[in-house]
């Protein structure tokens, strides 16, 4: 076979595919209803383009395609800086190199086309999101016919990698989600969630865990952590080396954690009020009674922070102040800026969820997990499709990804109420706009000192949104910005010596994050030590560590940590 002729035929075939894809995408974006998008992604206003800009994009695209086609495989090889196509197999396979190069051109052009849309901001964001999803799915690396690394492995293993890939696919179909790690290597209570403790209280919504002190003395004011109920609590206790729970205990904090029950149909009617009154406030009161102190310190992480803020507002409305200080980690209180998740939220979407489950039902954990994965499709979806199925690989053992796959359900009424009142209408920051547990909420009455943490690269709670809490909460504040994202920025122990954080010591909190950063300084390493010092300032004097869990007959050890609730699967 003549190589040049084979190259030309293959390249011409791929070029035709690209041209067809361009036409289809252009037609989709110009269609009045954006027919390929889900109903929740429909535009707010008609979509149009600047004719001159559109013609320039088309001209530039066709010119670059022609140039690439004319230069042939030598020019295509190594032309892409995309890590998906960085291996030697891509560079040494002319057709694969060309596919990667033309895909890069296609991606740049489609992205420019999405940016050229003339519509309201929300519609533009939705179109860009849809284009990004389409481009991630259409990468040549996702197809065996165009992936030279997968082909090489199939030849090298005499087809065994393909057989393993099919087995992996069948396994993941049975379990209902793509394997991101070797889940067989982990067991809750054995090699994750191992900090020693006991369940000292439980009801139908949560178990309260108390941890065994690691110091001879503890601070007299106990410390309660409220994790998000859309995940399991042990993100705070993965391994001893990166456990925020163990770190708090080692700092002399008498530490308690809420471990949420994974809801089933018996909890399908539970509301936001139920979770605030019967869980967060109940946990605060239980810890206060066990500690024998009038006040405790509390921490809320992500949605747990939103729930803690709501509970504090309820307690303030009742004239009660059982919490001396609060820490909010990557928490939305002001929902003005919800980042990429905003593309899903509008009146139609929220009303649909209210109709589906507002009066009862479950928001399935796997549905939420899939949504969050597709916020980063290349890293959290297609990377594993290629590795698990095309190459027949078993993903490495990674505690964080095991936790990420251990998903939880949510009661429908809780979820629908949360969407409307926070994500859609942003009512928590409006004094008197929300009634929770029979009380009108006003965060202006929540005057306790707070420590607010946000991650610079967080795509779930944008850093500016985390900072916005400083403008809402009236008490004495300390704000810190950490490097990395929603999880990696938080779970960053000092012993790792990784990343950095930013602090500002003049006590000023201007209206915008950028203005705050102008007076902030970058500090190497973890923010945990700064937080531990701050928390000790609110924890009271040191007293002898308790010799037993709980207190009296009302609160005593029910079972060892991590307890039963965290073991329940969605």
Q: How many C-beta atoms surround the C-beta of residue 83 within 10 A?
A: 10
**CA dist., res. 556 & res. 11, Å (int):** 72
- Within 331-467, residue ranges assigned H as helices are 347-357, 365-373, 377, 383-384, 399-405, 412-418, 463-467
Q: Which two tokens stand for residue 21?
A: 């894809």
DSSP structural state of residue 401: H
**CA dist., res. 83 & res. 125, Å (int):** 25
Largest CA distance in the chain: 87
**260 strand-pairing partners:** 206
Residue 18 sits at the vertex; the CA angle it makes with 12 and 24, to the nearest 5 degrees, is 140
The pairing of beta strand 477-482 with beta strand 500-503: antiparallel
**CA dist., res. 48 & res. 50, Å (int):** 7
CB of 546 closer than 8 Å to CB of 218:
yes
| Cα distance between the two ends of the chain | 56
**CA dist., res. 373 & res. 179, Å (int):** 12
Q: Which two tokens stand for residue 367?
A: 């549905």
**259 strand-pairing partners:** 207
SS (H, E, C) 357-380: HCCCCEECHHHHHHHHHCCCHHHH
Distances (CA, A) of 249 to 39, 193, 418, 547, 563: 48, 14, 32, 14, 18
Counting Cα atoms < 13 Å in the Cβ hemisphere of 547 gives: 0
Q: Is 438 helix (H, G, I), strand (E, B) or coil?
A: coil
The candidate with the shortest Cα–Cα distance to 315, out of 437, 432, 195, is 437
CA atoms 204, 208, 199, 399: torsion sign: positive
* E strand or H helix at 62: helix 51-71
CB contact set of 23 (below 8 Å; sequence gap of 6+)? none
CB of 316 closer than 8 Å to CB of 437:
no
CB contact set of 410 (below 8 Å; sequence gap of 6+)? 229, 230, 263, 362, 363, 365, 368
**CA dist., res. 13 & res. 306, Å (int):** 53
**CA dist., res. 366 & res. 229, Å (int):** 14
Distances (CA, A) of 499 to 457, 485, 490: 12, 11, 11
CB of 461 closer than 8 Å to CB of 339:
yes
Active-site residue list = 302
The candidate with the shortest Cα–Cα distance to 236, out of 533, 546, 528, 542, is 528
């Amino acid at each position: 076979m003549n190589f040049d002729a084979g190259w030309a035929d293959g390249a011409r075939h791929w070029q035709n595919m690209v041209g067809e894809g361009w036409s289809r995408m252009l037609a989709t974006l110009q269609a009045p209803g954006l027919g390929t998008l889900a109903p929740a992604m429909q535009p707010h206003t008609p979509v149009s383009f600047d004719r001159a800009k559109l013609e320039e994009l088309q001209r530039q695209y066709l010119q670059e395609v022609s140039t690439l086609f004319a230069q042939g495989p030598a020019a295509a090889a190594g032309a892409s800086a995309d890590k998906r196509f960085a291996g030697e197999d891509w560079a040494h396979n002319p057709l694969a190199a060309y596919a990667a190069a033309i895909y890069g051109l296609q991606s740049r052009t489609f992205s420019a086309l999405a940016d050229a849309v003339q519509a309201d901001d929300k519609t533009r964001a939705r179109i860009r999101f849809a284009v990004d999803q389409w481009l991630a799915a259409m990468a040549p690396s996702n197809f065996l016919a165009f992936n030279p690394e997968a082909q090489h492995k199939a030849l090298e293993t005499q087809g065994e990698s393909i057989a393993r890939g099919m087995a992996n696919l069948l396994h993941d179909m049975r379990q209902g989600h793509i394997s991101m790690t070797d889940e067989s290597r982990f067991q809750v209570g054995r090699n994750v969630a191992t900090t020693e403790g006991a369940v000292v209280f439980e009801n139908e919504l949560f178990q309260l865990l108390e941890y065994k002190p690691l110091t001879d003395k503890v601070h007299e004011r106990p410390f309660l952590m409220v994790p998000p109920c859309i995940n399991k609590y042990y993100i705070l206790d993965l391994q001893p080396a990166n456990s925020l729970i163990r770190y708090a205990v080692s700092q002399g904090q008498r530490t308690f954690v809420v471990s949420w029950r994974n809801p089933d149909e018996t909890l399908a009617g539970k509301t936001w009020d139920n979770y605030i009154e019967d869980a967060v406030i109940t946990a605060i009161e239980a810890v206060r009674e066990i500690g024998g102190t009038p006040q405790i310190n509390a921490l809320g992480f992500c949605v747990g922070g939103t729930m803690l803020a709501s509970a504090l507002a309820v307690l303030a409305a009742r004239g009660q102040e059982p919490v001396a200080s609060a820490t909010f980690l990557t928490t939305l209180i002001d929902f003005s800026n919800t980042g990429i998740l905003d593309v899903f939220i509008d009146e139609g979407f929220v009303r649909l969820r209210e109709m589906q489950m507002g009066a009862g039902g479950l928001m399935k954990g796997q549905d939420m997990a899939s949504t969050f994965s597709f916020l980063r499709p290349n890293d959290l979806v297609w990377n594993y499709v290629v590795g698990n199925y095309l190459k027949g690989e078993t993903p490495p053992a990674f505690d964080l990804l095991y936790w990420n796959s251990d998903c939880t359900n949510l009661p429908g009424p809780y979820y629908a109420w949360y969407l409307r009142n926070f994500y859609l209408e942003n009512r928590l920051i409006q004094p008197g706009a929300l009634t929770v547990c029979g009380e009108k909420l006003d965060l202006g009455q929540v005057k306790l000192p707070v420590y607010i943490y946000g991650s610079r690269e967080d795509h779930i709670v944008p850093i500016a949104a985390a900072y916005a809490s400083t403008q809402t909460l009236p008490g004495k504040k300390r704000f810190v910005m950490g490097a990395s994202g929603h999880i990696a920025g938080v779970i960053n122990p000092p012993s790792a010596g990784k990343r950095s954080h930013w602090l500002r010591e003049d006590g000023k909190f201007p209206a915008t994050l950028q203005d705050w950063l102008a007076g902030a300084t970058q500090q190497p390493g973890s923010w945990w030590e700064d937080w531990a010092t701050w928390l000790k300032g609110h924890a009271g004097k040191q007293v002898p560590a308790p010799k037993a869990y709980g207190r009296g007959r009302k609160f005593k050890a029910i079972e060892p940590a991590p307890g039963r609730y965290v073991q329940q699967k969605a």
